[in-house]
Amino acid sequence: MLRYRQTNESWLGTVGAVARDKCGNLAAATSTGGVVNQRCGRVGDSAVIGAGTFADNASCAVSCTGVGEQFLRTSLARTVALFVECRGMRAEEAAKAAIQYLVDKVRGLGGLIIVDRDDACTRANSTPGMRTAMVENGELRIHTT
């Protein structure tokens, strides 16, 4: 689950999930809460593979939350996967590098969760806060910044 804080008072929402099964297969899913007062027919980044969500067994599974247009302009979910696959970065390093790229390229606000092919799972964000939850070996852990 992803939710990010745009201000100190408001939490905006995306529901995202990343997973690695016992055979090593990776999967990602992202659903947005949407943006108020947008044009009819607007397609956000969640529906665009490579922008708001991406999974590939050669690299990682990623789900993003934030300002969709910024994720579309940076292909952020695919960028994270390329950091893992082509640069050999682990999940934590790739997540931080991708968020830095988002900030540097488009002054982006958002966050992401990632699980890599080696089962390392992490999160990164450039927003004032982000909530995530993780289940591992039947144990639920909730993290809020």
Say what percent of the chain tops pLDDT 90. Answer: 52
How many domains are contained in the chain? Answer: 1
Q: List the catalytic residue out of 14, 53, 65, 132.
A: 14
Query: Which tens digits make up the pLDDT trace of 87-142?
Result: 999 999 999 999 999 999 999 988 999 999 999 999 999 988 888 888 878 888 88
CATH number of the domain residue 130 falls in: 3.60.20.30
Mean pLDDT of the chain: 85
Catalytic annotation present for 122: no
Residue 130 belongs to domain spanning: 2-144
For residues 123 and 104, give the distance between their C-alpha atoms in angstroms, rounded to a whole number: 18
Question: Residue 7 has which token pair?
Answer: 């201000």
In the block, tokens 């990343």 appear at 18
